[in-house]
Amino acid sequence: MTTDAPCPFCFPEPSKIILSNEHALAFLDGFPVTPGHSLIVPRRHIVSFFEATAEEQAALFDLVAQMRQLLVAERQPDGFNIGVNDGAAAGQTVMHLHVHLIPRYAGDTEDPRGGVRWIMPEKAPYWKKQLNRG
């Protein structure tokens, strides 16, 4: 995907930044799937999680943990999904590494079982296949 638009994660509006450290920033997702859906991004413009140094990876997940604490205090979610879409084939649309921290709330979907497995809907309900084996 070629674009002349500036990277939206390289210079987020300072007032939107909730947490930061030497290597990463955390802010709310502009298109949240649940209330409190947050993004944690490296300060350095890199596309893939696998391009991040060990120090950057640690900084990202330090902010994931801190953001989780804030969300628990402010919104009392019942669970979380944590995800990274790494590459276009995995659904990445903004080519700047970002970690999704998605608070989950009881009843926010009819059946949350399978969580991130729903990226492949036909394979998500693996428990149904296990029941049919016998």
Residue 98 is among the residues annotated as catalytic for this protein: yes
- 48 Cβ contact partners less than 8 Å away, ≥ 6 residues apart: 86, 87, 97
User: Which is the catalytic residue, given 37, 45, 96, 98?
Assistant: 98
Amino acid (1-letter code) at residue 31: F
* 105-112: long-range pairs with CB below 8 Å, 24+: 105/34, 105/35, 105/77, 105/78, 106/78, 108/34, 112/79
β-strands 17-20, 99-104: how paired? unpaired
Query: Alpha-carbon distance 8 to 23, whole Å?
Result: 17
DSSP 7: P
As annotated, the active-site residues are: 98
